[in-house]
Structure formats: structure tokens, C-alpha cells
Amino acid sequence: MNKSDDMCRLRIYVSSTDKMDNQPVYEKIVFEAKKSGLAGATVFRGVMGYGASSVVHSSKLWELTEKLPVVVEIVDERARVVSFYQNLEARLNRMSKGCLVTLEKVDVLLYKEGKQKTAG
């Protein structure tokens, strides 16, 4: 990823229990972003939230399956992010569950790879 003026952040809001191809949606998106060569992806798990259904979901100790909000964030050059989303859009639309996708311009101040660990 280059620090350029045309960087953006794609956010995909789903539920922790939503599936795509028998895999959690957030996992599927992260692995596809990596396969597509995007700069990086991060998954954030919420503790409470609601979406288009207006049903509030929260973390409760007595629930066997926690259905919580999850946000996948991807930052890269706009053209790369838009192309990635266009390849993903049809599958998100086919899901029986709801989701929200946003795209916004960001200013990348630092993007630095960490040092590799050496043996010893």
C-alpha cells in the first residue's frame, strides 16, 4: 500500500453468526482480502448493537450462541477496495441476513511492516 491521496476504508457490518459458504462471513472476507492482495483487514467485535431489523443484540452470559455485531475494516487504495467490493457485493446480497457496507476516504499517516523475528 502506498501513502497516496486516494486511500479509503471499506467497512462491512455483519453479525458474528452470519455465514457465507459455511464459514463465518467475517473470516471469508478477511481471507478473500488477503488473497486479493489488499494491504490489510481487521475484524472488530462489538459488545452490543442493532441494525436494519431493529433487534438489539448484546453479550449475555446465559446465551449459548452470542450473536454480536462484527465490523470488517479494509484500508487500501480506492480502486483496489472498490474492485474487491464489486466482487463481493453479489454474495453479500444473496445472504439471508442483513449487512451494512460503507466506504470513506482516509488519510494514511503511517503504514509500516514490522520486523521479522529471528531465530535464537
The span from the CA of 77 to the CA of 4, in Å, is: 8
Q: Which domains does the chain have, with CATH numbers?
A: 7-54+66-105 (3.30.70.120)
Give 60-104 pLDDT, tens digit per residue.
655 556 788 999 999 999 999 999 999 999 999 999 888 999 999
Residue 36: predicted pLDDT? 97
The span from the CA of 41 to the CA of 106, in Å, is: 15
Residue 114: predicted pLDDT? 80
